A = this chain, B = another copy of it.
């Protein structure tokens, strides 16, 4: 487990990754540091950063698999950017049940929920060995007043995160189990592609239970749905190894929608009464 966090299946740009991470940090006293430009790049913020200020450095910190980055209620003072590795963020309800909120990976920001009350409202846990960049919040806002790209970055990243959560709410509120799992796979594939890994074949970092929690489903439903996708050829599944076979079908798979589909199905059922076209019904209707 420890050794697999960087051993993606088909790390298409291993060389690139390594060299860029060499660029992206300079060793100092056994740790790594990044400058503003590198931080902006990581966040995909178009930083017309005239000042490649080498004095403006942000420290890295490493976490091992299973370690907690921050816990609920802990006093807030720093944000984190994921430089490498995989994590989960969770809420804990009044009886200890975890609700997974996100699976942050390279380029994501952690800790924003702590700004409001000055205490983190969620918990972040490393699912693999991780390298995070520390952004002390006070320092960050002060710098933001001088380097406008940075200020812009902050607002942009927070807004982006908000939009992401809105999409999540929409998904939980409106989509069927199959559609949720399908979209989850697609978004994972896209994230991997962005990071230079293969979007066709990858390992899940999280358990079925964590996926289920994230998607508002049970682990059995997740497992069954993956098996069903496998059977109809949309993906291949072997434990945590996922192969994406038909990304387009996954993207357009959605809930057996309100009235229209149902009408069709009823009509079909009434006219025939015996023709069960199971595979077809798994696909998006309309």
A residues near B (Cβ < 8 Å) are: 91, 93, 95, 97, 99, 101, 112-117, 121-122, 141, 145, 151, 154-163, 165-170, 172-174, 213-216, 257-258, 286
Contact = CB atoms under 8 A, between A and B. Distances in A.
- Name the 9 nearest CB pairs between A and B, nearest first: A115-B159, A173-B216, A116-B159, A172-B172, A165-B165, A116-B160, A99-B170, A158-B158, A145-B145
A169 B99 contact: yes
Q: Main secondary structure on chain A at its contact with chain B?
A: helix
A258 B99 CA distance: 13
Taken together, the copies of this chain in the complex come to 2
Contact of A116 (B101, B141, B163, B257): B163
B114 A216 contact: no
A221 to B, nearest CB: 13
Contacts of A97: 174, 257-258
A174 B166 CA distance: 17
Contacts of A99: 169-170, 173-174
Given A141-B151, A165-B166, 16 more contacts: A91-B170, A97-B257, A101-B166, A113-B162, A114-B159, A115-B158, A116-B159, A145-B151, A155-B158, A158-B158, A169-B169, A169-B172, A172-B172, A172-B216, A173-B215, A174-B213
Nearest to A158: B158
A184 B166 CA distance: 18
Most B CB contacts (10 A, CB to CB) among A101, A163, A174 go to A163
B154 A155 contact: yes
Contacts of A214: 173
Contacts of A115: 155-156, 158-159
